[in-house]
């Protein structure tokens, strides 16, 4: 499979743990990369699955199935001026230097869209592809972090304060994709189902039978996806 660091680190571990316990003779190989690299890996057949959120226009030749929604969150140290806020306005966030994802990674487009909509320019002073790297620089007390909500929690990051940003940014949707010509074996259907329980074998087969990803989008229009 080909995916980004955020998916590999925060969304997939429990899925893979259960999968390898069930399929002891199946080998899993994970390739981390940019959206372009992920799309190319699956299109060329060097990976079976693409798991991605950004730059979905790159995956037009793949069957892309929506898995779940998620949002960005604001991360600061406990003594930061924003730490006591339960919610933020985009104007308040614009007053501080930000550390966030490199353009094209993990919801970054939603951050840019939110600032553009408000007629503002974010003060992005450092970018990275890895949420753990972003949190490292937040811990140094330098900047305000903007990362995937799933990438920070009280158990793993007790020294950080997470501020809900649901009102600032539009939800992102993570999708799993594969070549239309792929022969899906039973364990591959099972992997898809473990990652997104609403994607049963019958649902996947129905989506594959459709002509385009626009048709697939319409198929899932009235299905409420989980929020992570």
Structural domains of the chain in order of their starting residue, each with its CATH number: 2-69+173-219 (3.40.190.10), 72-164 (3.40.190.10)
Name the region of 216 (left: φ>0; alpha: ψ -120 to 50; beta: rest): alpha
Say what angle helices 186-195 and 201-208 make with each other, to 10 degrees.
Answer: 100
What was the pLDDT predicted at 211?
86
CA distance linking residue 137 with residue 154, whole number of Å? 18
Q: What is the pLDDT of residues 177-209, one digit of tens each?
A: 999 999 999 999 999 999 999 999 999 999 999
Q: What is the pLDDT of residues 209-219, one digit of tens each?
A: 998 989 999 99
Q: What is the pLDDT of residues 71-125, one digit of tens each?
A: 999 999 999 999 988 889 999 999 999 999 988 776 778 898 899 999 999 999 9
Q: What is the pLDDT of residues 122-136, one digit of tens each?
A: 999 999 988 999 999
Return the higher-pLDDT residue of 60 and 157.
157
């Amino acid at each position: 499979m080909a995916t980004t660091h955020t998916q590999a680190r925060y969304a997939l571990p429990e899925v893979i743990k259960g999968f390898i316990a069930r399929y002891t003779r199946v080998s899993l190989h994970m390739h981390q990369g940019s959206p372009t690299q992920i799309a190319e890996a699956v299109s060329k057949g060097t990976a079976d699955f693409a798991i991605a959120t950004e730059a979905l226009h790159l995956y037009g030749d793949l069957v892309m199935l929506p898995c779940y929604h998620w949002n960005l969150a604001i991360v600061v140290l406990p003594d930061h001026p924003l730490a006591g806020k339960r919610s933020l306005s985009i104007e308040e966030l614009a007053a501080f230097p930000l550390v966030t994802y490199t353009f094209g990674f993990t919801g970054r487009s939603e951050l840019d869209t939110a600032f553009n909509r408000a007629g503002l320019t974010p003060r992005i002073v450092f970018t990275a592809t890895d949420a753990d790297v972003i949190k490292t620089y937040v811990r140094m007390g330098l900047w305000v972090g903007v990362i995937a909500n799933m990438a920070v929690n009280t158990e793993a990051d007790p020294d950080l304060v997470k501020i809900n940003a649901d009102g600032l940014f539009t939800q992102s949707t993570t999708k799993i994709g594969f070549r239309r010509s792929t022969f899906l074996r039973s364990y591959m259907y099972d992997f898809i189902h473990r990652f997104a329980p609403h994607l049963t074998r019958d649902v996947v087969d129905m989506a594959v039978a459709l002509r385009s990803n626009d048709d697939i989008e319409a198929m899932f229009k009235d299905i409420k996806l989980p929020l992570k």
